[in-house]
Chains A and B, each alone.
Chain A
Amino acid sequence: DSGVTQTPKHLITATGQRVTLRCSPRSGDLSVYWYQQSLDQGLQFLIQYYNGEERAKGNILERFSAQQFPDLHSELNLSSLELGDSALYFCASSVALQGMTDTQYFGPGTRLTVL
């Protein structure tokens, strides 16, 4: 168990809908990362937050957005869902101390199915 929790485990929804995925980082970790994993694209970095602020952006669609709250949990919002958004969504967290490369610990993921 990495200490990172994600809810829900599974989500089934229809095209055009909006969903919210939630992540709680490990205790003490300030940084949260979101990744999308699909069979054809592999694990793709979406976005990183550090202590409430957006830190880095990857291949995140404009239909997707995220935020990190004062208690450091994070939410990933996916809107106007398309069939191609079906994937595993992982959250990872790290301590993020200055001057160090830190380990990212991954949660168990949320499996999103868009019908």
Chain B
Amino acid sequence: QKEVEQDPGPLSVPEGAIVSLNCTYSNSAFQYFMWYRQYSRKGPELLMYTYSSGNKEDGRFTAQVDKSSKYISLFIRDSQPSDSATYLCAMSGSGITQGGSEKLVFGKGTKLTVNP
């Protein structure tokens, strides 16, 4: 079983739709959870960051973590064509180390297309 599983999609939605992206994981040591957005031919950029379980909201984006189910989600409200990208979940163990965070373990990414 892979440490992080993410449905690769592709996912195609109309503009204005609510998008739900998900990842499951198997390593209970993960405590830090991130969502990265990667546009075509670009490097990943951090979108959302959460610690342990709970919700975090930032504008149209909401990240949810359910550690008991080992399941994380990213919701995008009122999706826009500019949201079309590949979304990668990432997670790490402790992060509290001297000299930098532990390695990030990424999902394979979900390709999202928002149609105008």
Q: Which residues of A contact B (CB under 8 A)?
A: 2, 4, 30-31, 33, 41-45, 48, 50-51, 53, 55-56, 58, 90, 92, 94, 96, 98-109
Q: Which residue of B lies closest to A95 (CB)?
A: B100
Determine chain B's interface SS by DSSP, over half rule.
loop
Given contacts A31-B99, A50-B99, A55-B99, contact A104 B104 (CB under 8 A): yes
Given contacts A42-B106, A43-B88, contact A102 B43 (CB under 8 A): no
> Once the chains are docked, how many angstroms separate the CA of A33 from the CA of B51?
21
Q: Please report the total number of B residues contacting A with Cβ < 8 Å.
A: 27
Contacts of B90 in A (CB 8 A): 43
Contact indicator per residue, chain B 100-116, by CB within 8 Å of chain A (1) or not (0): 11111111110000000
Shortest distance between the CB of A57 and any CB in chain B (Å): 9
> Once the chains are docked, how many angstroms separate the CA of A106 from the CA of B49?
15
The total number of A-B Cβ pairs within 8 Å is: 79
* Cβ–Cβ contact B103 & A33, under 8 A: yes
> Once the chains are docked, how many angstroms separate the CA of A42 from the CA of B23?
14
Q: Which residue of B lies closest to A42 (CB)?
A: B108
* Cβ–Cβ contact B109 & A42, under 8 A: yes
